[in-house]
Amino acid sequence: MNFFLMPMFFLSGAMFPIRNLPTWMDSLVRINPLAYGVDAMRYVLIGPAFQAFPIHVSLAVMAILAAVMIAGAVISFNIGDG
């Protein structure tokens, strides 16, 4: 589990700003859903000064991810009922 969680956490921008990353690392950050959640939280707590993504993009990515996860959970529970 830590094999996936630690890189996601470090590439989320929670510990360092993601604005000045190299291009190869920037592409990894953009596919990391945790980065959008951290960026939205930073927007709420600090304001738009340190924002990496627009707030509507962060909220849209989190809503899409939530919908996919809920759909996966519903399918998983329905398969379990047999």
Residue 47: domain span: 21-80
The sign one gets for the Cα dihedral 79, 80, 81, 82 is positive
Query: What is the full per-residue pLDDT of the chain (82 aa) written as tens digits?
Result: 678 888 888 888 888 888 888 888 888 899 999 999 999 999 999 888 888 899 999 999 999 999 999 999 999 998 866 6
Tell me whether residue 16 is in a domain: no
Closest-CA residue to 5 (of 27, 32, 24): 32
Tell me whether residue 46 is in a domain: yes
For the chain, what is the domain count?
1
pTM, rounded to two decimals: 0.82
CA distance 17 to 64: 24
Q: What is the pLDDT of residue 82?
A: 60
Tell me whether residue 43 is in a domain: yes
Q: What is the pLDDT of residue 50?
A: 82
